[in-house]
Amino acid sequence: MPAKPAKSDRAPKSRWSTAERTTPEHSPRRRDGQSSLKSVLPAPFSALTQDAASRDFADLGVPDNLVAALGAGGIAEPFPIQAATIPDALVGRDVLGRGRTGSGKTLAFGLPMITRLTGSSRPARVAPRGLVLVPTRELAMQVADVIAPLTRIAGLSLVLVAGGMPYLPQILAFSRGVDIVVATPGRLIDLMDRGDADLSRIEMTVLDEADHMADLGFLPAVSQILDAVPHRGQRLLFSATLDNAVDRLVRNYLHEPVTHQVDTGQASVPLMSHHLVNIAPQHKTAVTAEIASRPGRTLIFVRTQRGADRVAEQLRRSGVLAGALHGGLAQGARTRIMSAFKHGSLPVLVATDVAARGIHVDEVGLVLHADPPTGPKEYLHRAGRTARAGGTGTVVTFALPHQRHELGRLTTQAGVRPVMLSAIPGDTALAAATGARRASGDAISDAAYQRVIAPPPTQRSHSSRGRRGDGGGRGPGRSGRRRAPGSTDARGSRSPRIS
């Protein structure tokens, strides 16, 4: 592991205020191998902000082949976070990007990483040159699904490294050579300790959802990883909210970063409607079922794993197809439940806060705080699961009599002015605000629920082959001829849909 840089070699202190933008010619991070980017340098940022709506990815400096791939996937215009950060990232600046979940951060760092790595020299045996760190395996899978098709088009390879997955495919990817690693901190540290992951050639590192990594206690592992990569490499950090823990990462590991804030840490009032619903304890189960019966995807937050299971079972007994997502489930079950929710076959998901860190699904129309959040920051994290990608959404918070005063204070701290309602089962005002309707009462059996969340036959077959091939060994052996699941190569392998 490389020695930790001396204090004098580290980045100077930098606060979360908007930094002055330097011109590309004076960028402190230009590399010898990046001359190919000169022909696609972006226009001045001032022009970008004045006329962002008329600009496309090509105007930002994204190469034509990637622009064409985005267009084929229905992505024509950049979101604000993409328009703001891509030009700086392309010319090698360290970037701090602040935007709430669903604002398009994955492409904001994925496109510059693929572009820069395509333009730089590659050693004969490819050690990873790009690293994306994310807090949860679910988010890691979603990030990989978005950028893997683009890496394949660019002739680069990618591997997904996360806990709860077999070691052998990940080890094989490192031993064969890979360009980009999308990883959770814990599993990557494990592979580093085993001597399987070499980060000595990393040129570009991304920290996505840094505030969530801080909340989950991953910052010591993140710091260990950042100490292991070349300390003069490019760093991009994205976070929805800012706190002292994130600021320490900025001071210690980013060099003269330019900051782009395209959203606040508060819930977006134009996109979300907020409702604080006063409710009696005896009505909570019935009103939850009515809200969950609304059309479209609904996400319900509870405090404990046992509570998630209980609420999901109560909803199914009421005729509402709902599943529970929490850390007590096996990884395979969590993946299947998330997939069913993402594709709409499971319309209602009941989740704990920790499990919901990885929920990045568009078109969630309503978030229900069945149990109150622990604070304003948690309120905003939960609320951010709706009104994603420019959509709209509704946020409902139940307030039992003893919770009303505290929840009123909490929403004020979160910058939210909720509409106050008092609800009983069948309440017309609640129905008008949320789309709530009476549940059918036709209980959904466990067998019917299991059919909904079961993997397709091809996936079941592939999964069983993967288990037989994972003996926990450290070398490729005979199975080395198989390509690692979750990775892509230049010849054209698995190509997840761009979303």
Spatial contact of 139 and 164, defined as CB atoms under 8 Å apart: no
Q: What is the DSSP string of 312-373?
A: HHHHHHTT--EEEE-TTS-HHHHHHHHHHHHHTSS-EEEE-TTGGGG---TTEEEEEESS--
- Beta-carbon contacts of 274 under 8 Å, excluding residues fewer than 6 positions away, are 267, 383, 394, 395, 397, 411, 416, 417, 418, 419
Q: Which of 316, 325, 278 is nearest to 430 (CA)?
A: 278
| pLDDT value at residue 466 | 38
Q: Which residues contact 179 (CB under 8 A, 6 or more apart)?
A: 117, 122, 126, 128, 129, 130, 151, 156, 157, 158
Question: Could you tell me if 134 and 182 are in contact, meaning their C-beta atoms sit under 8 angstroms apart?
Answer: yes
364 φ/ψ angles, rounded to the nearest 5 degrees = -85, 110
Integer angstrom CA distances of residue 146 from 106, 110, 199, 371: 7, 8, 23, 32
Which residues are 259's β-sheet partners? 96
Determine the straight-line distance between the first and last CA of the chain, rounded to whole angstroms: 36
* Residue 182: strand, helix, or coil: strand
For residue 81, which amino acid is it?
A: I
pLDDT given at position 472: 33
pLDDT at 297: 94
Find all residues with CB under 8 Å of 42, minimum gap 6, and list them. Answer: 48, 59, 60, 61, 86, 87, 90, 91
Kindly list the structural domains of the chain, giving each domain's residue range(s) and its CATH number in brackets, ordered by start.
7-261 (3.40.50.300), 272-453 (3.40.50.300)
The pTM assigned to this predicted structure is 0.63
Could you list the pLDDT tens digit for every one of the 499 residues in the chain?
444 444 333 333 333 333 333 333 333 333 333 222 222 223 333 233 334 444 789 999 999 999 999 999 888 889 888 999 999 999 999 999 887 666 688 999 999 999 999 977 666 567 999 999 999 888 898 899 999 999 999 999 999 999 888 999 999 999 999 999 999 999 999 999 999 999 999 999 999 989 888 888 899 999 999 999 998 899 999 987 667 788 888 899 999 999 998 754 455 445 789 999 999 999 999 999 999 999 999 999 999 999 999 999 999 999 999 999 998 888 889 889 988 998 999 999 999 987 666 677 778 999 999 999 999 888 988 888 887 766 789 999 999 999 999 999 999 988 889 999 999 999 999 999 999 999 999 999 999 999 999 976 654 444 433 333 333 333 333 333 334 434 444 333 333 333 3
